[in-house]
């Protein structure tokens, strides 16, 4: 028996609101602002999903871009090859293609995760990096999806409604999982695998589950990206992109969903904020500042902006103090 | 048949360079259990130090071995200092932090060097000056197999440096201290070994070797640019893992194997997959023999 | 003779060239409280690791509740009914006191991830039960008031106790305690002895414990096994092994007249 109010009504209302705002969104804001918002949504989904693996389960995955690519290409290929397989409305097709992209990415996550997750720390990081690159190189060599030239002409079906809707679903999923016995299982893997095993947690199973769920949403983010930019190139999904997402997770705080959201927005807006500096000096300082941020963050505040806390925890502390 | 030998020669040449860089990775990992992502960028800086000092010395007017050695020494010293600074400023403060943090710091330093390099050296590739002139020093009668002076220089320099390293590690007090520290740094410090100094020295030596790699690459493949370290660093790291990370002999063996494998892949037709090959090797090794060819796994104490 | 819950026969383990434990035999019967003692490095924790599936013996057999455990992973053995604490406490440091307990209760929760997403009635019910059970356990050691603090914030003695509670939360039939009194003073050790007795009665667990504190061992163990350099050198009631010259020699390195209280 499911809890009707919290399962259907609340999410239903939020999604309806997203759709509603989405209808008037293009009229409210200019194209530039729209782009920033949609990219923020994509990055939020990437960061929150990666946080599940890196922050909550304590594994080190730095190949997230590979799963994003899988989702992007799968969904885009379906859209281009079977434009109306799910009916006359492009939006509905987009929805199902996004899910298909997510599923392929999840399958890739399973394929990568199952053999790799018995490796520790550094080794796992390198393997995930390696797989990310392999996916990219493989895509470069598949002519059916454009290869090195890229894929053009993808219809722009990723509107605000869809992007915001998926952000909500992603956050809801991760948050509900984390606040359940399964979430505690993920955390126990992070804290101490041997102790976790000793109390009955199948650590391998939970690591793989985190990986698969996280990869699914990376794929979803990829699908949204594909149907917004309308052009795909395997080189958009390189190691740098994976590092982008890692920076977001670390900056926000590994283990804080709120932190990932905030950090994703900051990282999306940062290049824009630096643009005036770039115009004046004609030099691209973005990556230099990025890297310095990483170093300084690790040296001074390795727990990131939010640490392991959520907005609700900080709110509670604030309310308690003032009462 | 002759193509086979030519590829082999090229592979060993390339492999020596991978080996030099891999040694730095393996030494640092052996002592700190840290993957020094910035190592490949130290290599890049070495190449650029060579570039600028060669120009300053007006070396291309008269290429010679004397010039080669001068540039080599300058680069090795310069990068030794750079490696020392990186360890001191970025890695030492987080030495006791969780491994994840250390890895991220290393990535940060790497990116910092790359993109600052782009700003300082300019993002477009530069041409390494001629500090040595090339010539064919050995050739089969049909000309199908040739060993050039560049190849010989690379091989001899590489081997020479490895012999020096071997001597330091096994025949000096410093080397003994380094081995002790990499075995167990807590015990080493209890025995009176100045662990901080030893770690610094490890970085200095590793960075110097990377610089040498940079110079040798500059000689043979004269196009250099600030992002040149990424791919080669990854491959050299994979070489270190292949041989058994923490194991010096493994790094050399791994480097040679990687170099030869890559040359054969390119030579026999699948050039687009040359980079993917490296990752393929990595994944196979990590899945089937994570300790590497010459390494051994230590059991975690419960 | 009551059921043998845990049985080890001729268990040997070698690490490379080193034989850490050889010819270890054990028959742990339902309701017993047995002590495993020996000098440092004797192999006691290695025995625990084999009994819980962390290490696989090189030879010999171990049966838990009648079934062989060869090749079975630790988490499965926990589900079958064996729990342990660790020599160097292994709590989930960043998790709360309460959550340390609740993680251990995970194996008794049946709601799926999908149900967690839809907040099913079963989830609500099971979570409520788990919360209640967890607090009941915390009350045994008066930790219920610190339920929402990070477990790393507890003083050392409380952390040890929390680890025992966590092991109990898995509802085991066999409980292995690795140096539960380490770092405790006399009165704390005395309390611990009472608590262990209380736990035995309340939960009906069978206990095998490793200890160096002889007062505790002599005080509560019905039977003691003595390990030295990986082999059993003596076995029997506390009074008997206390006087056994082999045991005295193992601890002190030479023959010494016996003193009350043990070596």
B175 vs C189: CA distance, rounded Å: 49
Per-residue pLDDT tens over the stretch C126-139: 999 999 999 999 99
Cβ atoms of A225 and C121 within 8 Å: the answer is no
Percent of chain B with pLDDT over 90: 39
In chain B, the DSSP E strands lie at 126-127, 136-139, 146-148, 223-224
Secondary element (H or E) of residue C231 = strand C231-236
Per-residue pLDDT tens over the stretch C97-117: 999 999 999 999 999 999 999
Q: Return the axis-axis angle of helices B39-56 and B229-243, rounded to nearest 10°.
A: 130
**Dihedral, CA of residue C21, residue C22, residue C25 and residue C26, to nearest 10:** 0
Q: What is the mean pLDDT of chain C?
A: 91
Band of the pLDDT at A68, cuts 50, 70, 90?
A: very high
What are residue C64's DSSP bridge partners?
C6, C67
**Dihedral, CA of residue A165, residue A167, residue A173 and residue A178, to nearest 10:** -150
In the predicted model, is pLDDT for residue A315 greater than 80?
no
Chain A hits for C95, CB-CB cut-off 8 Å, are: 184, 187-188, 191
Handedness of CA B164, B167, B170, B171 (dihedral sign): negative
B25 vs B41: CA distance, rounded Å: 12
- The arithmetic mean of pLDDT across residues A69-86, rounded, is 91
Cβ atoms of A213 and A220 within 8 Å: the answer is no
Band of the pLDDT at B103, cuts 50, 70, 90?
A: confident
- The arithmetic mean of pLDDT across residues A30-36, rounded, is 88
User: Which has more pLDDT, B160 or B147?
Assistant: B160
B19 vs B209: CA distance, rounded Å: 9
- The arithmetic mean of pLDDT across residues C156-177, rounded, is 94
Distances, alpha carbon B114 to alpha carbons A113, A244, B23, B224, C224, in Å? 30, 16, 21, 13, 64
Chain B hits for A284, CB-CB cut-off 8 Å, are: 115, 118-119
Chain A hits for B35, CB-CB cut-off 8 Å, are: 122, 125-126
B1 touches A: beta carbon within 8 Å: no
Q: Token pair of B207, please?
A: 């960075």
Provide the shortest C-alpha distance from residue C113 to chain A (in Å). 7
Taking an 8 Å cut-off on Cβ atoms, the answer to whether A192 and C90 are in contact is yes
B37 vs B105: CA distance, rounded Å: 9
- pTM here is 0.88
pLDDT at B182 (0 to 100): 84
pLDDT at A24 (0 to 100): 80
- Chains near B with 3+ CB pairs less than 8 A apart are A, C
- In degrees, rounded to 5, the angle at the alpha carbon of residue B169 between the alpha carbons of residues B164 and B175 is 130
Taking an 8 Å cut-off on Cβ atoms, the answer to whether C104 and A199 are in contact is yes
Alpha helix ranges (H) inside C204-231? 214-220
Provide the shortest C-alpha distance from residue A300 to chain B (in Å). 10
Q: What is the largest CA-CA distance in chain B?
A: 64
C246 vs B231: CA distance, rounded Å: 64
In the predicted model, is pLDDT for residue B137 greater than 80?
no
A84 burial level (CB within 10 Å; 0-12, 13-18, 19+): exposed
Cβ atoms of A201 and C77 within 8 Å: the answer is no
In the predicted model, is pLDDT for residue C257 greater than 60?
no
Cβ atoms of C202 and C28 within 8 Å: the answer is no
A-proximal residues of C, 19-78, CB under 8 Å: 52, 54, 73-75, 78
Q: Token pair of B87, please?
A: 């360890």
- Nearest Cβ partner of C99 from A1, A182, A184? A184
Q: How many CB atoms lie within 10 A of CB C1?
A: 6
C188 vs C191: CA distance, rounded Å: 5
Provide the shortest C-alpha distance from residue B298 to chain A (in Å). 13
Task: Give the chain A residue whose CA is nearest to the CA of C152.
Answer: A191
Distances, alpha carbon C3 to alpha carbons A34, B166, C28, C139, in Å? 71, 62, 8, 31
Chain B hits for C86, CB-CB cut-off 8 Å, are: 302
Q: Strand C206-210 vs strand C174-178: parallel, antiparallel, or unpaired?
A: parallel
pLDDT at C207 (0 to 100): 96
In the predicted model, is pLDDT for residue A258 greater than 80?
yes
What are residue C63's DSSP bridge partners?
C7, C68
In the predicted model, is pLDDT for residue C182 greater than 50?
yes
């Amino acid at each position: 028996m499911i809890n009707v109010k919290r399962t259907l009504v609340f999410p239903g209302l939020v999604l309806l609101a997203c759709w509603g705002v989405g209808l008037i969104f293009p009229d409210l804001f200019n194209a530039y602002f729209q782009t920033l918002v949609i990219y923020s949504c994509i990055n939020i989904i990437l960061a929150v999903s990666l946080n599940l693996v890196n922050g909550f389960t304590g594994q080190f995955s730095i190949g997230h871009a590979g799963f994003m690519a899988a989702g992007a290409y799968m969904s885009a290929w379906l859209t281009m090859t079977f434009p109306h397989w799910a009916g006359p409305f492009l939006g509905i097709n987009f929805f199902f293609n996004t899910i298909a992209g997510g599923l392929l990415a999840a399958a890739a996550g399973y394929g990568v995760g199952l053999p790799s997750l018995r490796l520790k720390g550094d080794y796992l990081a390198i393997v995930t990096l390696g797989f990310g690159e392999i996916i990219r190189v493989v895509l470069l060599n598949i002519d059916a999806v454009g290869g090195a030239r890229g894929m053009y002409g993808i219809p722009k079906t990723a509107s605000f409604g869809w992007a915001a809707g998926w952000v909500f679903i992603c956050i809801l999923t991760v948050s509900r999982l984390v606040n359940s016995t399964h979430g505690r299982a993920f955390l126990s893997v992070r804290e101490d695998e041997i102790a976790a095993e000793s109390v009955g947690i199948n650590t391998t199973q939970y690591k793989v589950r985190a990986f698969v769920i996280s990869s699914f949403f990376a794929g979803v983010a990829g699908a949204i990206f594909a149907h917004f930019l309308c052009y795909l190139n395997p080189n958009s999904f390189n190691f740098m992109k994976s590092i982008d997402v890692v920076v977001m997770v670390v900056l926000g705080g590994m283990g804080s969903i709120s932190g990932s959201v905030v950090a994703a927005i900051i990282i999306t807006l940062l290049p824009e904020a630096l643009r005036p500096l770039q115009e004046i000096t004609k030099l691209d300082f973005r990556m230099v500042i990025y890297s310095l941020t990483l170093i300084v963050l690790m040296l001074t505040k390795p727990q990131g902006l939010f640490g392991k806390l959520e907005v609700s925890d900080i709110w509670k502390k604030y309310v308690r103090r003032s009462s | 048949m002759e193509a086979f030998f030519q590829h082999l020669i090229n592979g060993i040449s390339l492999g020596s360079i991978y080996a030099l860089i891999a040694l730095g990775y393996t030494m640092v990992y052996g002592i700190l259990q840290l993957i020094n992502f910035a190592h490949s960028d130290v290599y890049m800086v070495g190449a650029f130090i060579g570039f600028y000092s060669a120009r300053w010395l007006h070396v291309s007017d008269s290429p010679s071995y004397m010039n080669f050695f001068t540039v080599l020494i300058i680069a090795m010293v310069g990068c030794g200092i750079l490696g020392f600074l990186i360890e001191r400023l970025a890695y030492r403060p987080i030495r006791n932090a969780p491994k994840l943090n250390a890895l991220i710091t290393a990535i940060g330093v790497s990116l910092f060097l790359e993109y600052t390099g782009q700003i300082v050296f300019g993002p477009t590739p530069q041409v390494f000056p001629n500090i040595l002139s090339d010539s064919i020093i050995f050739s089969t009668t049909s000309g199908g197999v040739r060993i050039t002076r560049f190849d010989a220089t690379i091989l001899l320099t590489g081997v020479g440096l490895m012999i020096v390293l071997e001597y330091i590690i096994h025949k000096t007090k410093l080397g003994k201290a380094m081995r002790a520290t990499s075995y167990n740094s807590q015990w080493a410090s209890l025995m009176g070994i100045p662990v901080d100094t030893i770690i610094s020295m490890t970085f200095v030596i590793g960075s110097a070797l990377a610089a040498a790699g940079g110079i040798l690459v500059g000689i043979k493949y004269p196009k250099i640019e600030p992002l040149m370290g990424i791919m080669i660093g990854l491959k050299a790291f994979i070489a270190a893992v292949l041989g058994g990370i923490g194991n010096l002999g493994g790094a050399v063996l791994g480097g040679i194997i990687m170099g030869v494998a890559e040359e054969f892949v390119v030579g026999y037709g699948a050039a687009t997959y040359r980079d993917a090959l490296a990752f393929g090797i990595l994944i196979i090794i990590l899945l089937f023999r994570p300790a590497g060819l010459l390494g051994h796994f230590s059991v975690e104490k419960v | 003779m009551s059921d043998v819950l845990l049985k080890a026969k001729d268990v040997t383990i070698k690490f490379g060239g080193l034989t850490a434990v050889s010819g270890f035999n054990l028959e742990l019967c339902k309701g017993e409280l047995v002590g495993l003692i020996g000098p440092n490095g004797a192999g006691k924790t290695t025995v625990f690791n084999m009994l819980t599936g962390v290490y696989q013996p090189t030879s010999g057999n171990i049966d838990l509740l009648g079934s062989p455990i060869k090749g079975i992973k630790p988490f499965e053995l926990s589900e079958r009914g064996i729990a342990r604490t660790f020599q160097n406490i292994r709590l989930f440091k960043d998790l709360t006191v309460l959550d340390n307990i609740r993680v251990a209760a995970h194996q008794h929760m049946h709601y799926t991830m999908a149900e967690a997403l839809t907040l099913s009635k079963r989830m609500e019910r099971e979570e409520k039960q788990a919360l209640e059970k967890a607090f009941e356990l915390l009350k045994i050691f008066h930790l219920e008031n610190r339920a929402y603090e990070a477990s790393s914030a507890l003083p050392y003695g409380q952390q040890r106790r929390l680890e025992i509670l966590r092991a109990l939360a898995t509802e085991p039939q066999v409980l292995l305690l690795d140096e539960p009194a380490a770092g405790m003073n006399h009165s704390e050790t005395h309390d611990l002895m009472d608590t262990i007795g209380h736990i035995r009665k309340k939960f009906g667990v069978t206990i095998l414990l490793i200890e160096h504190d002889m007062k505790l061992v002599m005080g509560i163990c019905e039977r003691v096994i003595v390990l030295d350099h990986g082999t059993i050198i003596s076995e029997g009631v506390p009074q008997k092994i206390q006087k056994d010259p082999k045991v005295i020699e193992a601890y002190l390195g030479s023959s010494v007249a016996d003193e009350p209280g043990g070596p």
